[in-house]
């Protein structure tokens, strides 16, 4: 489990095709390698991926993850290449501060940036969500975009907007998004379960 509060921005340094449909990604980070256990979960711009190796590359700390065919097909991971910057978050520990909202690292689909408005010290970003998860997005609710917990500002049909504060623009990859870009979308779990309960009543 995660909270959508990014703790580092990593960089893909190597991409290796493994077994059919499997790709190994090596990601440079600022985390202490001694604190990363093999098998640990790290959210990488949304998807929760399992650490399969750690190593030093020059003076850079790196961890490797394997992305399976479904992850490559249904998230932006299929387009990650050497140089791609990723929002990273370590798995939540009991006692950690819940600064965002409960995030599973299971991507619901790709949202596309339809409009970017750069305001004084902020940016308003309007995304279009795919139809199935769009019904779980509500004004003042939470969404996770590329692993970042954000509050929904407005909703109109499948489109929704978020206001990005200067801190988030500066310490995540969200600030570099351009119109047309795709991001990994995870809707709020509470909204999903509430809708499911209503359906089964």
Mean pLDDT for 96-118 is: 94
Residue with tokens 């006692």: 95
For the chain, the structural domain boundaries read 8-90, 109-200
- In whole angstroms, give the CA distance from residue 123 to residue 134: 22
Is CATH 3.40.120.10 correct for 109-200?
A: no
- In whole angstroms, give the CA distance from residue 120 to residue 141: 24
Which pLDDT tens digit goes with each residue over 48-66? 999 999 999 999 999 999 9
Which pLDDT tens digit goes with each residue over 140-198? 999 999 999 999 999 999 999 999 999 999 999 999 999 999 999 999 988 777 777 77
Please name which of 154, 164, 44 lies closest in space to residue 106, comparing C-alpha atoms. Answer: 44
- Domain 8-90 sits in CATH at 2.40.30.20
Contacts of residue 121, defined as CB under 8 A and 6 or more positions apart, other chains included, come to: 165, 166
Lookup: tokens for 86: 């990723």
Report the catalytic residues. 2, 41, 48, 50, 68, 106, 151
DSSP state of 91: P
- Quick check: 133 and 109 in contact, CB under 8 A? yes
Instruction: Give the predicted TM-score (pTM) of the model.
Output: 0.94
CATH topology identical between 8-90 and 109-200: yes
- In whole angstroms, give the CA distance from residue 72 to residue 74: 6
């Amino acid at each position: 489990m995660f909270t959508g509060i990014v703790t580092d921005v990593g960089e893909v340094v190597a991409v290796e095709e493994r077994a059919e449909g499997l790709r190994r990604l090596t990601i440079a980070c600022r985390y202490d390698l001694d604190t990363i256990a093999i098998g640990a979960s790290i959210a990488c711009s949304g998807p929760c991926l399992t650490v399969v190796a750690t190593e030093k590359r020059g003076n850079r700390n790196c961890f490797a993850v394997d992305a399976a065919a479904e992850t490559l097909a249904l998230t932006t991971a299929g387009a990650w290449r050497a140089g791609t910057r990723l929002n990273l978050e370590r798995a939540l520990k009991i006692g950690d501060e819940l600064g965002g909202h409960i995030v599973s690292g299971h991507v619901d689909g790709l949202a596309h940036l339809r409009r970017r408005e750069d305001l004084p010290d902020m940016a308003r970003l309007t995304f279009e969500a795919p139809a199935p998860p769009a019904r779980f997005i509500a004004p003042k609710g939470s969404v996770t975009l590329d692993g970042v917990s954000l509050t929904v500002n407005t909703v109109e049909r499948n489109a929704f907007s978020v206001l990005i504060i200067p801190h988030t623009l500066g310490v995540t990859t969200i600030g570099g998004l351009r119109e047309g870009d795709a991001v990994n979308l995870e809707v709020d779990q509470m909204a999903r379960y509430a809708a499911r309960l209503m359906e089964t009543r």
